[in-house]
Structure 1
């Protein structure tokens, strides 16, 4: 199955949280904070959203940082995704 976002929605796959801190401390599962960094796996068409023209600025494969409490978590085929509005993406991570 495949998620196809509508309007200004973007489907993200969260990047894996680090298991250890920079100082080498191993973190147990519940102590790890979910990263706010993700990879874009699908992008909606944009267009008219709430009476405003929306041009999509992200593309599939982009690594992005999104707002902490943004989006809807979705589980599909044992994989977890987050569906957010493009507005909830705060930055594209450039290599």
Structure 2
């Protein structure tokens, strides 16, 4: 049975994007090449609540490609895949092509 995790409050479930180690033509890329720490948003929580009990929606949506902080997040393993949970305010931004 496949499990699905729905984050609570203002948390975001992200699958990190692992950059390729070689090009399509088979050229090996150096490990020290500059790479962005990015990920794909898999699921988002409903949002945090303010003092009046109103929900503050999460800034990101499923499918967004986001820039992640170098450190932080909580590692979660579901089946054979690894994900990371971040708070909405820990995500640095959205990446666009």
TM-score higher than 0.5: yes
Contact 1:16 1:35 in 2 (8 A): no
> Equivalent residue for 1:83?
85
The runs of 5 or more residues in structure 2 that have no matched partner are none
Name the count of aligned residue pairs.
Answer: 90
How far does residue 57 in structure 1 lie from its aligned partner after superposition?
Answer: 1.1
Q: Which has the higher strand share?
A: 1
2:92 is paired with a residue of what secondary structure? strand
**1:31-42 matched pairs, under 5 angstroms:** 36-42=37-43
The runs of 5 or more residues in structure 1 that have no matched partner are none
What is the TM-score of this pair, normalised by structure 2?
A: 0.76
> Equivalent residue for 1:11?
13
Larger Cα-atom Rg: 2
Alpha carbons of 1:76 and 1:35: their partners in 2 closer, same or farther (altered >3 Å)?
farther
CA distance in 1, matches of 2:8, 2:59: 15
